[in-house]
Amino acid sequence: MKYFFRVLLIIVTVLFVSNSCNKGSTNPGPVMQVTLSPNTSVVDTTTVGTPEVQGDTFTFQTAGVDPGFVAGDVLVVQSDGGYIRNITSVTTSGGQVQLQTTQATLTDVFDELLLIDATVLEMDGSLSKHSPNAPAMKINYLPEGAYIEKGEIILDGIKIYSGNYEGVPFTVEFETGFIEFKPTFNRELDIGLWDGLRSFKLSALGNIDFECVLKVTVNKTVDTDFPKNLADFDFGPLWIGPVPMYVNMNFEAGFDVFIDFIGEVTSGFGISSLVEFGAEYRNTDWTKIWEFGSPELKEVTPKWDAKGDAEIRLYIKPKLAVTIANVVGPYMEIEPYMEFGGTVNFADMEWYWELAGGYDGRLGFEVSILDYDLVDYNQTLSSDKFGIAQDRGELENNIVSVLPGVDGFEQYVPGQQLACQNPMDWTTWNENPCDAIQDAIVTDEISWANNQSLLIQNGNDLVYNQKNYLTSGTQSTYFWIYVPSGKQAYFNVLADFNNGNHCWAMSAFFNSDGTGILDADTDISFNYDQDTWVKVTVHTDLDADTGSFWIESDRVHHWQWTAGYGGAIVPYPQLAAVDFFGIDDSYKFYIDSFKGN
């Protein structure tokens, strides 16, 4: 007695008319016409049992009864995801039959096959509650806190990332969000006895809805990307005659983020569109299937306090991947995404942001399971990007004063000396913090940004010492200066400040009449306004050996950095310190929001 079915000829035809989901047309419903190859053996595991599988070896426990396996047969096993294998040898020992096999294809299993059907892949919060005739669904993964409600994955409060990246703590999370995708999975497969695989088509058609508000929190500059498995489901089996097919639907969330400040950025968007994607093989040629309807877009106004540049790209990627009898087959994926870009122009005290959306579509058809001669098909289906919203405005002073690397003098006790309170960054010309004359005081008399600034007057000689001198790259040293009417100001930038070895790179005099003199490779005159805050910038490019001096947005002069001060050659391109000096009683000025190295 044989404990399997030797199927010589089976013809099954199922035809009925139903409304197709495809663009509202009416087409014939599911069709399955099957003629199995004469040497196809479909194992009845209820009598023979489930085989033990180790690589290409299949072992059956038969209790001493020969089930009649023959070398040259095509073995079809429906349990554990299914197998289709060519039997190359049969060994019987006691109550055990051991088969050596190689991978078979569907053209080995079928002499004739015509399959046309459409299946709705519907997410549901329970394993038993589904639409009529829908395939069984198994939830493989949902992150803690996420849940399914009316076919939507609810993402409120779900963290994509929380931890440290290269020592920088940061968090990326959905404040709110959901994604809904209920595709109709379309299959067409036509196999002939003499011509093998005639045609093959897989596509997914459905409306994709994705809406979210994403918050990124950092306490230091971060530049990274990170993918996260957001949800994973299995549907099936979807039968190809006696051969099981399973569809995995996976949702991956990911981000690329660059944030150059300490704080938070919140941005989001919504997109809804009908999409169809997949591929079709017919007459030896592949054709991609791609249609992305006009998307409905929803703007979520970003929250970004313009402390520094920020770039965020967030995507949610639904992916459908097929396995046929445990062999990985085609996959199809679509990736709707959001991009937020915020830029700060400190030179012009402006900010600008732009919110954009888009989508990418890709597929990879690994088709060795279908036919030996068929070549895999990989394709980028489409890519598009569209603007959603944008805005620009002027920076607020108090934002600049608290940027990383900026000393806004707010953390110090007013009326007390600066270098005495912060000898790590500041010193005096005689390198004696707390010096009764040279160390300058912090004041709350006047400020550009918040409440306090630095007062330089007669005898003060305060130095910002970079310690780790710059010898390459670029740097913009800037600050805001306030010179009262009738008073003067002075500062210089040094290429060396080390135990009395002073090497001037440039200096600037702000005269009492609103004129000034820059002393670099030559003397250059400039004008400035008294009784108001004026931005001063010294930009250095040590690789190019150049320097430039700016008053507000006007470049006063550009020169060779090593040409030095007053013609005194600087022996090497280097940036070491900045010195503010009250030369005599006519000198009185205030400094705020100083940015060094």
Q: What single string gives the DSSP state of each residue in 157-216?
A: T-EEEEEEETTEEEEEEEEEEEEEE--EEEEEEEEETTTEEEEEEEEEEEEEEEEEEEEE
Residue 110 lies in a domain: no
Residues 8 and 90 in one domain: yes
- In the prediction, which pLDDT does 499 show? 65
For residues 423 and 416, the answer to whether their CB atoms sit within 8 Å is no
Structural domain tally of the chain? 3
DSSP label of 326 = T
Instruction: Report how far residue 433's alpha carbon sits from residue 577's, in angstroms, rounded to the nearest whole number.
Output: 15
pLDDT at position 235, please?
93
Average pLDDT over residues 509-527: 95
Q: Is residue 138 part of a domain?
A: yes
Of these ranges, 17-21, 372-376, 452-456, the one predicted with the greatest mean pLDDT is 452-456
State the pTM of this model: 0.68
Give strand pairing partners of 162. Answer: 171
Q: How does pLDDT run across 283-317, given as a tens digit for each residue?
A: 888 999 888 878 888 877 788 766 667 888 888 88
What separation in angstroms does the CA of 481 have from each of 440, 548, 591? 15, 18, 5
DSSP 8-state class, residue 529: -
- For residues 178 and 154, the answer to whether their CB atoms sit within 8 Å is yes
- pLDDT at residue 27 is higher than 50: no
Does 413 lie in the same domain as 279?
no
The mean pLDDT value of the chain amounts to: 84
**Of the residues 364, 395, 426, the one at which a domain ends:** 395
Cα gap 380→267, rounded to integer Å: 28
Residue 236 tokens read as: 């099936």
- Sort residue 132 into left (φ over 0), alpha (ψ -120 to 50) or beta: beta
pLDDT greater than 90 at residue 259: no
| Residue 416, helix vs strand vs coil | coil
Strands 40-43 and 74-77: parallel
Higher pLDDT, 402 or 148: 148
Q: Across residues 571-577, what is the average pLDDT?
A: 86
Q: What is the pLDDT of residue 26?
A: 37
Q: Which residues contact 134 (CB under 8 A, 6 or more apart)?
A: 119, 120, 121, 122
Q: Are residues 529 and 547 in the same domain?
A: yes
Question: Is 42 contained in some domain?
Answer: yes
Q: How far apart are CA 148 and CA 125, in angstroms?
A: 5
Segment 219-239 mean pLDDT:
83
Higher per-residue confidence, 112 vs 15: 112
Residues 276 and 203 in one domain: yes
Mean pLDDT to the nearest integer, 522-531: 94
Alpha-carbon separation of residue 349 from 392, 400, 404 (angstroms): 11, 9, 16
Are 78 and 161 found together in one domain?
no
The helix/strand/coil state of 397 is helix
pLDDT at 5 over 50: no
Based on the domain organization, do 371 and 439 belong to the same domain? no
Domain contains 125: yes
SS3 24: helix
pLDDT for the residue 225 = 75
Cis, bond preceding 169 (omega within 30 deg of 0):
no
Q: For strands 222-240 and 426-428, give the pairing.
A: unpaired
Going by the DSSP 8-state scheme, the letter that residue 488 receives in this structure is B
214 with 268, same domain: the answer is yes
pLDDT digits (tens, 9 = 90+) for 459-498: 999 999 887 788 888 888 899 999 999 999 999 999 888 7
pLDDT score at 191: 94
pLDDT at 11 over 60: no
Residue type for position 3? Y
Is 113 among the domain residues? no
- pLDDT at residue number 133: 53
Domain co-membership, 359 together with 419: no
pLDDT of 456 over the 80 cut: yes
One domain, residues 334 and 442 = no
Q: How far apart are CA 291 and CA 384, in angstroms?
A: 12
Q: What's the pLDDT at 7?
A: 38
pLDDT tens digits, residue range 58-96?
A: 998 877 667 788 999 999 999 889 999 999 999 988 788
Are 213 and 77 members of one domain?
A: no
The dihedral through the CA atoms of 221, 473, 428, 490 has a sign that is negative
Residue 374 has pLDDT above 50, yes or no: yes
Instruction: Specify the pLDDT at position 536.
Output: 93
Q: Is the model's pLDDT at 211 over the cut of 50? A: yes
Q: What is the CATH number of the domain that holds 512?
A: 2.60.120.560
Closest CA to 389 of 364, 355, 430, 363: 355
pLDDT at 597 over 60: yes
Domain of 549? 403-595
Count Cβ neighbours within 10 Å for each residue of 106-124 and write b for 16 or more, e otherwise. Answer: bbbbbbbbbbbbbbbbbbb
pLDDT-derived band at 399, boundaries 50, 70, 90: low
What's the confidence (pLDDT) of residue 430? 92
User: What's the average model confidence in pLDDT over 251-276?
Assistant: 83
Pair 180, 357: CB distance under 8 Å: no
Are 284 and 239 in a shared domain?
A: yes
Residues 483 and 508 in one domain: yes
Residue where a domain stops, chosen among 73, 104, 135 = 104
User: For the segment 354-369, what is each residue's pLDDT rounded down to a tens digit?
Assistant: 888 888 888 888 888 8
Can you tell me whether residue 6 is helix, strand or coil? Answer: strand
Q: What is residue 126's predicted lDDT score, i.e. its pLDDT?
A: 42
Please report which confidence band the pLDDT of residue 6 belongs to, taking 50, 70 and 90 as the band edges: very low
CA–CA separation, 504 vs 559, rounded Å? 14
pLDDT band for position 14 (cuts 50, 70, 90): very low
Domain boundary among 369, 395, 421: 395
